Amino acid sequence: MKIETVDFFYLSMPEVLDIGDGSQDALLVRIRAAGLEGWGECEASPLTSIASYVCPMSHSACKPLKYSIEGKGINSAEDIYRITADVRENSLDLLQADHTLSGIDIALWDLLGKKLEQPVYKLLGYQQAYPKLPYASQLFGNTPEETYEKATSTAAKGFRAVKFGWGPFGKQNLEQDIAHLHAAREGTDKDAYLMIDAGTAWTENNSEAARRLPALKAINAYWLEEPFVNGALEAYKMLSETAPQVALAGGEGCNNFVQAQAMINHAGLHFIQIDAGRIGGITTAKKVADLARSKSVTYVNHTFTSHLALSASLQPYAGIENDLISEYPVELKMLAQEIGKEKIIPDSSGYIHVPEKPGLGITVDTAPLQKYLVDVEIKVNGKQIYYTPQL
Q: Are residues 130 and 85 in the same domain?
A: no
- Residues 331, 337, 343, 347: what is their CA dihedral angle, to the nearest 10 degrees? 20
Q: What's phi and psi for 29, nearest 5 deg?
A: -120, 130
Q: What pLDDT tens digit does each residue of the chain (391 aa) get?
A: 999 999 999 999 999 999 888 899 999 999 999 999 999 999 999 999 999 999 999 999 999 999 999 999 999 999 999 999 999 999 999 999 999 999 999 999 999 999 999 999 999 999 999 999 999 999 999 999 999 999 999 999 999 999 999 999 999 899 999 999 999 999 998 889 999 999 999 999 999 999 999 999 999 999 999 999 999 999 999 999 999 999 999 999 999 999 999 999 999 999 999 999 999 999 999 999 999 999 999 999 999 999 999 999 999 999 999 999 999 999 999 999 999 999 999 999 999 999 999 999 999 999 999 999 999 999 999 999 999 999 9
> What strands, in cross-sheet order, belong to the sheet with 325-329?
298-301, 271-274, 248-250, 223-225, 193-197, 161-165, 133-139, 325-329
**What domain range includes position 12?**
5-119+367-387
| Residue 349 lies inside a defined structural domain of this protein | no
Supply the pTM of this predicted model. 0.97
Collapsing DSSP to helix, strand or coil, 338 comes out as coil
**DSSP state letters, 175-208:** HHHHHHHHHHHHHS-TTSEEEEE-TTTTTT-HHH
Residues 6+ apart with CB under 8 A from 97: 52, 65, 87, 88, 91
Residue that finishes a domain, picked among 321, 337, 353: 337
Are residues 221 and 234 part of one domain? yes
Tell me if 186 sits within 8 A of 158, measured CB to CB: no
Nearest residue to 184 (alpha-carbon basis) of 156, 164, 214, 161: 164
Q: Are 279 and 318 part of one and the same domain?
A: yes
**Is the separation of the CB atoms in 360 and 120 below 8 Å?**
yes
Q: What's the distance, CA 163 to chain centroid?
A: 15
Question: Contacts by 17-21 with C-beta closer than 8 Å and gap 24+?
Answer: 19/139, 19/166, 19/167, 20/139, 20/165, 20/166, 20/167, 20/199, 21/139, 21/304, 21/331, 21/333
Q: Are residues 205 and 294 in the same domain?
A: yes
In angstroms, the CA 153 to CA 188 distance is 9
Which CATH number covers residue 77? 3.30.390.10
